[in-house]
Structure 1
Amino acid sequence: MTRYIAPLLFGLIGAGILISLGSWQLRRLEWKQAVLAEIDTRISAPAEPLPRMISRDEQRYQPVALQGEILPGEIRVLVSQKQVGAGYRIISPFRVEGVADGPRLLLLDRGFTADANKDAARSTGPVTVTGNLHWPDDRNSSTPENDLKANIWFARDIGAMAEVLQTEPLLVVAREIDPADPTIQPLPVSASGIPNDHLQYAITWFSLAVVWLIMTGYYIRRQSKTGKA
């Protein structure tokens, strides 16, 4: 019996480690769900005044309701939509009126237009916008450099976009624009795009623990048969 102690301990300790990793992922899942619920609450909260001093951590997802004018000019950010295919986010300069410190020029993410409509005439002029402030994390190590000459961008690089369109480096992602442009579908800020894979990770760790125990049992059984032989 003593020869079974080492593999049994090895199996139980290994399974225990894997189970503890799965349990940790479940705790992370609970934490992430609370974070996402907080973000959803923040996104749908009542509109707040447009900030002058910018704090990304405090103002991320801040809801705003603005009146102003969409100006000519646009940046096209290459994206794709399910069941639609390739297209572009349309970023336009937006002059905000009615704020305490006078008119301001911001970036307005108007939403998605299909590739077939990329050269369509875009509406400009007075509008009412409801949306959220956002600092998107579109760029990573594999993102190509923006093609400014062809006006094809691969990330919403706020600083570079503001420089091209001569605005403040402040982006409003529209939930609704009135009057709407029929060629553009708003893509509002949503927590649905934030990864939450902790349940899959937990299932993976628990599955590995089961496999570990099965293999341990199989090994001990083989050893017992060898001993009898």
Structure 2
Amino acid sequence: MSAASTEPAPRRRKSPLRKLLPAALVVLVAFGILVGLGTWQLERLAWKQDLVAKVEARIHEPAQAAPAEADWPEINFEDHEYRHVAAQGRFRHDLEVQVYALVDAGPDGSGGPGYWVVTPLVMADGATILINRGFVPLDHRSPSSRPEGQVDGLVTVTGLLRMPEDSSMFTPENEPAKDSWFSRDPLAIAGAKGMLRTAPFLIDADATPNPGGLPVGGLTRIAFPNRHLEYALTWYGLAATLLAVFAAYAWGRLRRG
């Protein structure tokens, strides 16, 4: 009798297309994510263009009365930022704070470091709005160096409504205990100064000159970073590159069998 054969049966080779399937699925998922990110940036572009158009219209409208205290909870960035407003009251110069700033155009036209002078304006009903009265250079931080600007009596301030300033990763933290400020946060300032009934926004005063020339108002920078189209093209470009690389890889695999 002949011995039974013990040789294993030959293994069936996977087709090249089946070998490419796992990589193709990964590429498909990554492609969908990249295209989704690009589309999201285009949606952000449309939102930003609409916001810029609204702001451009707001800053040229006649000044309206600043929002009343009853309306403060409804104030938000999209609907109220940069609205042209006016408020009447008396300054509390004893509660002034100085917020470090780096501006493009300083009092002498050169720009540079200095401070925003932020002063509470107490209105007839007792509510308070913080006013960014304008910029002073470093050597005029102390109110005693600009006594003419400590305006007394009833005043009317006209300017642009501003929401609290967002801090970036490069902005130092405010230190209320040291009266050291790097971002304009009206409620934090109010809390540090013991002020109640303070608006959750500020008013950037316009360029109406202050006695003595300081602070210098009207330096609000109206700018919205808008690189959404660039980002969208980048994501779409990466998606196209991913497909091209995979196509080249797949073609090479298929040719080799």
- The TM-score range, normalised by the shorter chain, is 0.7 to 0.9
- Point out where structure 1 has 5 or more consecutive residues left out of the alignment: none
Amino acid at match of 1:78: Y
> Any conservation in 2 of the 1:107–1:168 contact (CA below 8 Å)?
no
Amino acid at match of 2:121: F
Aligned pair count reads: 220
Amino acid at match of 1:75: V
Q: Indicate whether 1:146 and 2:175 are aligned.
A: yes
Shift of 1:106: 3.1
| 1:1-229 pair list within 5 angstroms | 3-4=16-17, 6=21, 11=27, 14-15=30-31, 17-50=33-66, 51-53=68-70, 54=72, 55-57=74-76, 59-73=80-94, 74-82=96-104, 84-96=111-123, 105-119=128-142, 120-122=145-147, 123-125=149-151, 128-139=156-167, 143-149=172-178, 151-163=179-191, 164=193, 166=195, 168-170=197-199, 171-179=202-210, 182-186=213-217, 191-192=222-223, 194-227=224-257
**Greater Rg, structure 1 or structure 2?**
2
> Any conservation in 1 of the 2:63–2:84 contact (CA below 8 Å)?
yes
Amino acid at match of 2:100: L
Shift of 1:182: 2.5
TM-score, normalising length: structure 2:
0.68
Shift of 1:132: 2.4
Q: Distance in 1 between matches of 2:251 and 2:212?
A: 71
- Point out where structure 2 has 5 or more consecutive residues left out of the alignment: 1-14, 105-109
Q: Distance in 1 between matches of 2:234 and 2:167?
A: 29
> Any conservation in 1 of the 2:87–2:156 contact (CA below 8 Å)?
yes
**Distance 1:105-1:177 versus aligned 2 partners, 3 A rule:** farther
Percent identity over the alignment?
Answer: 30
Amino acid at match of 1:219: Y
Q: CA RMSD in A?
A: 3.4
**Distance 1:72-1:10 versus aligned 2 partners, 3 A rule:** closer
Q: Distance in 2 between matches of 1:106 and 1:224?
A: 71
1:19-72: CA deviations, max 9, x gaps? 343133212211221123223323432211232422323655442234555443
> Any conservation in 2 of the 1:173–1:189 contact (CA below 8 Å)?
yes
Amino acid at match of 2:238: L
Q: Distance in 1 between matches of 2:204 and 2:190?
A: 14
Q: Distance in 2 between matches of 1:147 and 1:21?
A: 40
Q: Distance in 2 between matches of 1:181 and 1:226?
A: 83
**Distance 1:181-1:94 versus aligned 2 partners, 3 A rule:** farther
Shift of 1:191: 4.8
Q: Distance in 1 between matches of 2:165 and 2:241?
A: 38
Amino acid at match of 2:175: N
Q: Distance in 2 between matches of 1:210 and 1:187?
A: 47
Q: Distance in 2 between matches of 1:190 and 1:81?
A: 9
